C-alpha cells in the first residue's frame, strides 16, 4: 500500500513538473509570437519561403494567380504551427503581405491562444486573398473580424479558384498531403506590420 502511494505521489510530482515546463514553453512560444515581422537577419530567407509557398498554391489551386492579380492583395504564411500543451494551446505563424502585383508591402502574424488537450505540432501553408482595397484597409487597421474556413480546390479536377469571398477574404490551407478543408482562421488574430514601419 505504501509503495503504491509513493508511486502515485512521485507520478503526481512528475506530472506537475512536466506541466510547468511545458507551460513555460507555451508561454515562450506566445511571447516570441508578439513580433509581427521576423528578426532582421531572417527576413530575406523568410520572404523566399513565403514566395515558395505562394508558388505551391499557384501550382495546386487552378486560377489562384489570376485571383490574386484581381484582388486587393494577399497574405502567405509558409508555415503555421498548431500546438496543444496540456490545457494551453494555440496557433502561430508569420507571413508576407503582398499587393496584387506581387510586391511585398509588409509582414503578417497569426497568433491565437486557446484550449488544447494534445501535445504536438502541425505545420500548414496558408494563403489569404483579400477581395479589395477596403478589405486590405481593414486588415492594416486591425478592424476586420470573423472566422473564415479554408476553401479546398482540387487542381487536378480543373476547378478554378473560388470567387466566393467571406468577410472579404478567401482562405486556402495545405500541407504535404495537399489542400485541406475544415481549418478555420480568426481574422482578428491576424496582425499587420508595414515594411515602411520597420525601416
63 has a pLDDT exceeding 60 = yes
Contact call for residues 54 and 76 (beta carbons, < 8 A): yes
Whole domain around residue 78: which residue ranges?
2-198
- The reported pTM is 0.74
- In whole angstroms, give the CA distance from residue 126 to residue 26: 22
Q: How many domains does the chain have?
A: 1
Interval 29-60: pLDDT, tens? 333 334 777 788 878 988 999 999 999 999 98
84 has a pLDDT exceeding 60 = no
Q: How confident is the model at residue 108 (pLDDT cuts 50, 70, 90)?
A: very high
Which pLDDT belongs to residue 103?
Answer: 96
- In whole angstroms, give the CA distance from residue 13 to residue 169: 48
Amino acid at each position: 500500500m505504501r509503495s503504491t502511494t509513493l508511486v502515485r505521489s512521485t507520478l503526481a510530482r512528475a506530472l506537475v513538473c512536466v506541466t510547468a515546463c511545458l507551460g513555460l514553453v507555451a508561454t515562450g512560444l506566445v511571447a516570441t509570437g508578439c513580433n509581427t515581422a521576423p528578426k532582421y537577419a531572417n527576413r530575406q530567407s523568410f520572404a523566399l519561403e513565403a514566395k515558395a509557398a505562394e508558388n505551391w498554391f499557384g501550382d495546386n489551386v487552378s486560377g489562384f494567380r489570376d485571383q490574386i492579380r484581381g484582388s486587393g492583395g494577399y497574405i502567405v504564411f509558409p508555415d503555421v504551427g498548431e500546438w496543444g500543451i496540456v490545457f494551453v494551446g494555440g496557433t502561430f505563424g508569420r507571413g508576407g503581405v503582398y499587393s496584387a502585383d506581387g510586391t511585398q508591402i509588409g509582414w503578417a502574424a497569426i497568433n491565437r491562444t486557446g484550449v488544447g488537450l494534445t501535445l504536438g505540432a502541425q505545420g500548414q501553408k496558408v494563403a489569404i486573398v483579400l477581395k479589395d482595397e477596403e478589405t486590405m484597409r481593414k486588415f492594416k487597421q486591425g478592424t476586420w473580424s470573423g472566422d473564415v474556413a479554408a476553401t479546398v480546390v482540387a487542381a487536378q479536377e480543373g476547378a478554378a479558384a473560388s470567387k466566393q469571398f467571406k468577410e472579404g477574404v478567401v482562405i486556402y490551407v495545405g500541407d504535404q498531403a495537399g489542400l485541406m478543408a475544415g481549418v478555420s482562421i480568426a481574422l482578428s488574430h491576424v496582425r499587420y506590420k508595414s515594411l515602411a514601419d520597420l525601416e
